[in-house]
Structure 1
């Protein structure tokens, strides 16, 4: 029998934050390399700080760029990090705008933020991945056998 697990639900809605960059002018590393190198520094800083609110992340590499899927404990921690002038994000963001004025269109940046107040997951013969890594796993039981049951369980009053 396959081992089936689902993610654990928390009292508060975790946040999924997707951020990516696209190398529009790959031949201009002077324009995109600083932003590219800033992300590992930010992730390292956040991972070392247990109170940062970052629960986990995953790097995805594509043909024209990179995407980071991050899981946060809540919006306040995410926004707090983004706006803190003493953390790595603000100086990197300021530098990004300086470079993009000098070499317009060389690199694209995007992000999306989702409060995950209702989610369903299944992990079959898999270690924790994605949301399961961020909030932990629990065995699927009779009340969480189907995707419909798992989504219903996720509804908050």
Structure 2
């Protein structure tokens, strides 16, 4: 499984609002597999659904990380409205109900999420010799041109005037 490496320097356009949603779980009691496995195994089906219906759901992309006890997914969404609509959807509600029935307030497993609304022009990125990753999977991936060579220049719309950028 070879990744398509983009040689050189790339960035993403930052001309639209985005939502970054972090969601994950922590295994507090490793031997309590019956408690944490249902939480862990619910996510792949939801991610599959998100990718199958990206446009209609407003889902852009996800990156996943697995530690010894803690997992995190970084999801990119078009809007909070899209994210909230998915949270109220059948697949997510089914997983949430199952979690509450099987785990509830049991301390064997924890779950968390954080939501960040990021306004257009107030984020930037750079990728050198990388496959499309993170925001580059979620937004338009473009080569860096001289007018976008520095982080400050990529954040130009965040500043009041172009004179502030040197």
Tell me the TM-score normalized by structure 2: 0.85
* Aligned residue runs from structure 1 range 1-157, under 5 A: 3-10=8-15, 12-50=16-54, 51-84=56-89, 87-101=90-104, 104-117=106-119, 118-154=122-158
| Kept in 2: contact 1:20–1:68 (CA 8 A) | yes
Alignment partners' CA distance in 2, 1:152 and 1:34:
45
| Kept in 1: contact 2:22–2:115 (CA 8 A) | yes
Shift of 1:53: 1.1
Aligned partner of residue 36 in structure 1, secondary structure: helix
Aligned partner of residue 15 in structure 1, secondary structure: strand
| Kept in 2: contact 1:120–1:154 (CA 8 A) | no
Gap regions ≥5 residues in structure 1: none
Tell me the TM-score normalized by structure 1: 0.89
Gap regions ≥5 residues in structure 2: 1-6, 161-166
Displaced runs of 4+ in structure 1, greater than 6 A? none
Shift of 1:141: 1.3
Backbone CA RMSD of aligned residues? 1.7
Q: Paired residues, what number?
A: 151
Shift of 1:9: 2.4
Aligned partner of residue 71 in structure 1, secondary structure: strand
